[in-house]
Amino acid sequence: MILALTGAATAYGCGIARDVPMAELTSFRIGGPADLMITLPDVEAAAAVNGICEAENWSRLWLGRGSNLLVSDTGFRGVVLRLSNGSMPKRLDETRLSCFAGVTLPSLSRFAQLQGLTGLEFACGIPGSVGGAVLMNAGAYGGCMADVLESVTILRGDRAVDVPAAELELGYRHSKLMQTGEPVVAATFRLRAGDPAAIDARMTELLTARREKQPLEYPSAGSFFKRPEGYFAGALIEQCGLKGYAVGDAEVSAKHAGFIVNKGSATCTDVQKLAQHVRRTVKHETGVLLQPEVRLIGEDWYPPED
């Protein structure tokens, strides 16, 4: 079975590696080894490899930049399908761009700026890939993917299928793809004409704000909890006196309480225990139950809501 998979991957120009430490593939720098990793260069390769994985019932983890993941200390038993970020976005017409889902959001937003297209400035500092951003409708500074996404290409077995954004049920940090599990391999965006200098100035402004307010000096998975309706997660956590609270090398950031950071050698277990403590404390003191924004891979660990 594995020979058929690796043989097809080789034929399509994919990279293949075994026992890859997930700590090297995620922005949290946490996680044990994955059994097999295949790096996919394009939609055609992704469709072919996915079809074989599905036919052979391989467990799959689709990975871009690994910026919103916390991987178990025991790793991932299955195949990591990593989307390459080597291809360039393409301009389709006066207002539309398309790209492979492995392209990073900073690269995409910079490409749009150089093309004189506005709408993706909010994404210039988000360290993830297009595929993951579509999956969770990523956003920042008042913008999100739903504002600019026109359509996506997803995989169903070995078939690439185009789907309008209107059918994805995009909401706050949500799309229906989270339930269907269908991976995004390409996306098309509809933007607006703008002045490249003005777009660049706005991107510089947002990147400066991000550096000043977020703990970029330490590995993290970005905002750890979703924003509760009517509140801000970071403010609630700080209100409960949890800024700087740590379990091992996992710490509620002293700079921004909405982040859990890895101060050096934090494990998934450290982060798990810290997140559980934060949730219980905030629920006890404010009545608000925080929900994780970060996806955990490898085990089920959040406590019951009661």
Q: Which positions are catalytic?
A: 173, 223, 293
Distance CA 149, CA 138 (A): 11
Distance CA 23, CA 304 (A): 28
> Which of 306, 298, 304 is CA-nearest to residue 22?
298
> Which of 130, 122, 126, 155 is CA-nearest to residue 223?
126
Q: Which residues pair with 255 in a beta bridge?
A: none
**How many angstroms separate the Cα of 129 from the Cα of each of 26, 49, 201?**
12, 20, 23
Kindly report the backbone phi and psi dihedral angles of residue 260, in degrees, each rounded to the nearest multiple of 5, phi listed first: -105, 125
Residue type, 291: Q
